[in-house]
Chains A and B, each alone.
Chain A
């Protein structure tokens, strides 16, 4: 159980959660909750793999994945922004729709062929022998997929954009007080559409990252195995802040890897490894990410209550121009 290997793998699989969580942060900051992340990730994973198998171009696959996620999200946008439908139910419908659509369109895709993975970045081995710095490089940079690097670039950009730019201010205004934003001349409907679509594109990117880089291939629903829902939970834990989202995503990624490691025979507790000698206990390990999501939610909401940090004030509330706002 080498901590460097676990953290290295955690960063890689956490990148998927990071994309999905950042996307959800954007649309929730604009006041629209989208519970359809799981469905959008699945359609992204399916379309990315499908396009890459048939064209051999992974980058094209990623673009199509983002488009597919964005298209589904646009449906959610029309239904919740213009038709003022309940965002919870619409998000659930989107998950059904995305799952069903990707199962139907992805029929037989698991045996359709092999792909070249998106490239990974290899560092000079000499760099890795430097004490401390070498270990940090080994965890974060060496032999990581280019998508991991995309995550590193996206993270500070997202934070800066939301908190320190004028469009970011408009984004927050639309989510906190659409009435006031509208009065200031900010296009509430247009921005909400834009960020819902952006959230969908990032969820699609997350799906594509799974099927093209992190655990390549198409395994129907098992491709995402509930990670979209974990992302929805992470948004609350992150209190709508990109840095906390990154921490949560990478920690969850490491947890997934740790679970695999715990079952290995070489692990020494000082007594017989129960997870090795009774593999059925592995089912309890498989519960851990989901149980941890609940724990993380409880902690997040406790802290939010104490510090009076909350969701964007207008989250989940459709904006109707001319009706009394809040």
Chain B
């Protein structure tokens, strides 16, 4: 980036210069601007393939936030998104590129299902106990899936980007094996349904006491997600460990001189990140699907990457962004062509990182 660029022929000069300070309001303004530009570009593509961009966007807004019922469905999708968004935020804060939230999500779902389907939790166990065991199994499975690339990165300097990504494919095949080969319900591509003790309570379950809740699908996983937000926020901004994570992310060399154990932190952060994504898988399997099957995720793990980035790795903003993206994904299920939500996500992420330059540089128009 050159510090001054001028158009020689015109009397008006375009000056680009580095900012010495970045005002606080600028960052959200630029982010929102980036999203608006992304939506315009996405609309252009929709129009190009013969769709009506305005109608499509209006449909998305109505189908995601139009009434309490659909908003409740939006929150159902936001729940795993918050958790994987946190998983990515935590790892990215240390500049650890965990692209494996998708696989860790699947492993969490597999672990949580295994304790039920293998019969380790006997029928008739009280619901909190059964769900507690599932939660632990899901979190541990996700953490183990994060441990492997964490160890490879910490001990052998193997790029975590590729290993976490490859482990996504491996996890999905592993889940497929169990779905088809072990727990298949009479040859179908799904396991038998879990007993009720393994279902996370839904708002709709309380319709008898509060009629307004009838039919609402939002489940207890949302509480897990909000608790996780509080924990991750506390870790990152109020704990010594979080300070170490942020220091390693900002300046690994300084962290090393300060005596911070980078190897230990790499492994721990990858495991915690995996655990959060695993919790997302558990919450999805116990709150929504109630059985193990293939294609439980529809790319939540990857959306988590964008959410983390859009939220500037801030756990609290992750909630807001996840709700918006939950709506986009929910509404996008009915939209043709099917790639539209992913396309819009890609454009948003692109605009977002491109717009970062406006935070670091200032464009001035001056007379020559």
Contact = CB atoms under 8 A, between A and B. Distances in A.
Interface of A: 35, 39, 75, 78-79, 82-86, 88-90, 92-107, 226, 229, 232-233, 236, 278, 280-281, 283-284, 286-287, 290-291, 293-294, 297-298, 301-302, 305, 320-322
Interface stretch (B78-86, B170-178, B267-275): B170-178
Interface of B (DSSP majority class): helix
Contacts of A95: 346
B3 interface: yes
A35 B302 contact: no
B113 to A, nearest CB: 16
Interface stretch (B133-141, B230-238, B337-345): B337-345
Chain B CB within 10 Å, residue with most, of A83, A86, A93, A321: A93
A229 B165 CA distance: 8
A232 B349 CA distance: 21
B181 A97 contact: no
Contact of B343 (A100, A236, A291): A100
B362 to A, nearest CB: 14
A316 B174 CA distance: 33
B1 A84 contact: yes
Most B CB contacts (10 A, CB to CB) among A39, A75, A95 go to A95
B346 A284 contact: no
A152 B64 CA distance: 53
B354 interface: yes
Given A283-B181, A294-B158, 6 more contacts: A97-B349, A101-B339, A280-B180, A283-B174, A294-B162, A301-B156
B41 to A, nearest CB: 10
Contacts of B169: 226, 287, 290
B188 interface: no
B21 interface: no
B331 interface: no
Interface residues of B, number: 51
Contact of A280 (B1, B99, B177, B338): B177
B49 A104 contact: yes
A259 to B, nearest CB: 12
A235 to B, nearest CB: 10
A92 B349 contact: yes
15 contacts: A83-B354, A84-B1, A85-B353, A92-B305, A97-B343, A101-B339, A106-B339, A107-B49, A107-B339, A226-B165, A232-B162, A284-B177, A297-B159, A301-B158, A321-B1
Nearest to A229: B165
B346 A298 contact: no
Contacts of A94: 346, 350
B16 to A, nearest CB: 10
B163 A294 contact: yes
A199 B198 CA distance: 50
Given A104-B337, A104-B339, A107-B337, A97 B350 contact: yes
B346 A283 contact: no
Contacts of A106: 339
A99 to B, nearest CB: 6
The 10 tightest CB contacts between A and B, nearest first, are A103-B339, A280-B181, A100-B343, A96-B346, A97-B346, A100-B342, A107-B337, A283-B177, A93-B349, A83-B357
A320 B337 CA distance: 41
Nearest to B351: A93
B146 to A, nearest CB: 14
Interface in B288-346: 302, 305-306, 309, 336-346
A40 B224 CA distance: 38
Contacts of A302: 156
A287 B161 CA distance: 18
Contacts of A301: 156-159
A292 to B, nearest CB: 9
A233 B162 contact: yes
Nearest to A108: B337
A245 to B, nearest CB: 15
Contacts of A35: 161
Name, among B158, B167, B305, B357, the residue most crowded by chain A CB atoms within 10 Å (CB to CB). Answer: B158
Given A101-B339, A280-B181, A293 B346 contact: no
A96 B345 contact: yes
Nearest to B149: A294
B350 A75 contact: yes
B358 to A, nearest CB: 9
A287 B173 contact: yes
B45 interface: yes
Given A96-B342, A103-B337, A297-B162, A79 B354 contact: yes
B143 to A, nearest CB: 18
Contacts of B305: 92
A75 B353 CA distance: 12
Nearest to A84: B1
B145 interface: no
B167 A290 contact: yes
Nearest to A79: B354
B166 interface: yes
A85 B356 CA distance: 7
B106 interface: no
Contacts of A286: 173
Given A89-B309, A283-B173, A287-B170, A103 B1 contact: no
Given A103-B338, A298-B156, A301-B157, A93 B356 contact: no
B45 A101 contact: yes
Given A101-B45, A290-B169, A297 B346 contact: no
Nearest to B347: A97
Contacts of A105: 49
B339 A99 contact: yes
Contacts of B177: 280-281, 283-284
Contacts of B302: 96
A233 B167 CA distance: 13
Contact of B173 (A89, A229, A236, A284): A284
